[in-house]
Amino acid sequence: MKNIASVSGLALCLLLSLSMQAKPRIERAEPLSWFTGMNMPLTLMLQGEDLADATVNIQQIAAGKVMKGQCLGLTVKSQHNAESPNYLFVDLVATEPGLYRITLTKGKKSAYVDYTIEARKANHRANISYTPADVIYLIMPDRFANGDPTNDNTANTAEKAAPTEWFGRHGGDIQGIINHLDDIKALGATAIWNTPLLLDNEPTQSYHGYACADYYHIDPRFGSNELYKQLVDLAHQKGLKMIMDIVPNHCGSAHWWMKDLPYQDWIHQYPEFTRSNWQFTTAADPHASHADFIGMNSGWFDTSMPDMNLDNPDLLKYFQQWAIWWIEAMDLDGLRVDTYPYNEKEPISQWTAAVRAEYPGINIVGECWTRPTSQIAYWQADANNSDGYNSNLPCVMDFPLQEAMAAALGDKGEGWGKGLLKCYEVIADDYLYAHPDNVLIFDSNHDTPRVRDMLLDKSYERNKLIVALLATMRGIPQLTYGEEYGLISLNPDDIGNHGALRVNHPLFGNEPAKLEPKQKDLYEYYARLLNWRKDSKPVHNGKLMHFLSRDNTYAYVRYTDEEAVFVYINASDEPRLIPIERYAEVMDNYSKKGTDVISGQKIDLNEPMKVEGLTAIIVPLGKN
């Protein structure tokens, strides 16, 4: 693609011309390019040396030549300095695609950057984002597949490969994901969420990507901006959507701007290291002290993660443009936002609103890791909050359901309030959500124990029950790479150890996986269920009616006016007889004959039916 030149690196239409002694000097211009027809006005952040108060002039480049005369396709609206003299913010109006030369002049000295304006993609605003019809496959790229061993170490990155160390870089990359797109599709997933792929240049534990050192460039140990665009395009060709994981709350201590901040309040600074108190309930708590609230959103996540200050308007605009640029340049289908409530409360709402104004149909899921449901529901757009706060965030992560599933299947489920009743009680709290169907449901992710780590006896059969629930419940299901093979932690004595949890995928070395029979059986269970789910309208957008039970079973029906899906999960060790008469208020509207998705057996629910222990049945039903 010809216009990929605008997408990455200084070689991507970011050409600098100056002598070693000349001032001003331009080192970076961000965003890397921009587009006509955008709602978001362009504010170009120029960084280098002695840029403050420079005079800005723009000329168009055509046929490789700088055109003389007035430039109308890209014009300067205004400009302002930062506190550091080495930054200049320039507000630009882009009306015509093309290549432009932006020249900064101070006295007799000047420097320039060539900058690309592209035409906005005509249909991008109408793209369908991820919805409850999707199944999201979460990948930690460093641990998924090593498709290109030549980039395991690079000259311009600090940490080198250490494939046998829990917290080291193992070498997985974008090419590895490309190599296995067909495998992801065959499993039945329809969307991919990669943990951050941007440069993380910390000297240790840089593999996870959550300490960003450059917001506009893919980590070279994963690949390049061009290769990421290739991944997105190939995924789309295979019917897979692409979700980008972004982190506006904190950067990495190795980020280039940490040596010279634009403003001193660009990050939150303290006389000594001050960690967040991690109590994000303070954002909604009417009784919380202001000190506790500030301690939550202004403290640092870790010593290597400086906390960004979105109250700075130039930083907020920078992050709004950053997200929009990646969506537009790469044709992304959605976003996942890390540690959403730890950002400044009003600015993060403005950030989300700006992205959604540009892409009204986009889905953005925010990580709001807490419980109970009321604390998470506060952060979903349109919540009925007593303080009137609206985050503008369409989707939140259902941590209470994840914890309930793990607890329900982590023991025998015997006793009052035990077993699958825990899941029933979480779903009963859906009245708290403004949009209960647009929540992300999951059994594990990159921060939690592996699915089987949480289950009694690390049972494969219990694992099946969890995915049966996940595939049929309201919301958008998300799986974690390798769970379809029953991966467990490397260190069963310490399942809180992230390095031990983030194990390599069985296909990491691009060789056929050596699987045990139980792993093959589990994979087939996942694939059969998830591929069926692709065409189930009641699961995608049907209503949900569930039924109380205290015998460690869970029955519910997903239904539309035309069809239904009956789900019965028996998490006990003993057979259970389905009390079909209990479900008459919804089931009498549908035929009670169908075929179990999992076993392929014909089911007649008009007759008494016994379901064996640790077994689920899922039966699509037509209208009477």
Spatial contact of 440 and 136, defined as CB atoms under 8 Å apart: yes
Burial of residue 515 (number of CB atoms within 10 Å: 0-12, 13-18, 19+): middle
Tell me whether strands 439-442 and 476-480 are parallel, antiparallel or unpaired.
Answer: parallel
* The dihedral sign for the CA sequence 413, 468, 456, 370: negative
551 tagged catalytic: no
Tell which phi-psi region holds residue 290, choosing left (phi > 0), alpha (psi between -120 and 50) or beta.
alpha
Which letter, b or e, does each residue of 162-179 get, where b requires 16 or more Cβ atoms within 10 Å of its Cβ? eeeebebbbbbbbbbbbb
**63 vs 487: CA distance, rounded Å:** 56
Q: Which two tokens stand for residue 209?
A: 């990507």
Cite the beta strand spans of 278-431 per DSSP E: 334-337, 363-366, 395-397
Identify the active-site residue in 367, 398, 443, 461: 367
Can you give 343-378 as a three-state secondary structure string? CCHHHHHHHHHHHHHHCCCCEEEECCCCCCHHHHHC
**87 vs 51: CA distance, rounded Å:** 6
Spatial contact of 27 and 48, defined as CB atoms under 8 Å apart: yes
Which helix H or strand E contains 569, and what residues bound it?
strand 563-570
Burial of residue 198 (number of CB atoms within 10 Å: 0-12, 13-18, 19+): buried
550 DSSP assignment: S
Counts for the chain of helices (H) and strands (E), in that order: 14, 28
Q: Which two tokens stand for residue 360?
A: 């009204």
Q: Report which residue type is found at 104.
A: L
**Helix, coil or strand: residue 422:** helix
Spatial contact of 366 and 377, defined as CB atoms under 8 Å apart: no
Bridge-partner residues for 66, per DSSP?
Answer: 61
The CA–CA distances, whole Å, from 134 to 130, 241, 320, 369, 441 equal 6, 9, 26, 22, 11
CA 312 to chain centre: 25
DSSP string, 51-66: -TT-EEEEEEEETTEE
308 DSSP assignment: B
Bridge-partner residues for 620, per DSSP?
Answer: 565
96 tagged catalytic: no
**227 vs 141: CA distance, rounded Å:** 14
Q: Which two tokens stand for residue 139?
A: 């990948």
**598 vs 238: CA distance, rounded Å:** 25
Cite the beta strand spans of 434-519 per DSSP E: 439-442, 476-480
Can you give 148-209 as a three-state secondary structure string? CHHHCCCCCCCCCECCCCCCCECCCCHHHHHHCHHHHHHHCCCEEEECCCEECCCCCCHHHC
Identify the active-site residue in 134, 159, 200, 338: 338
Maximum Cα interatomic distance, the chain, rounded to a whole number of Å: 92
Residues marked active site are found at: 338, 367
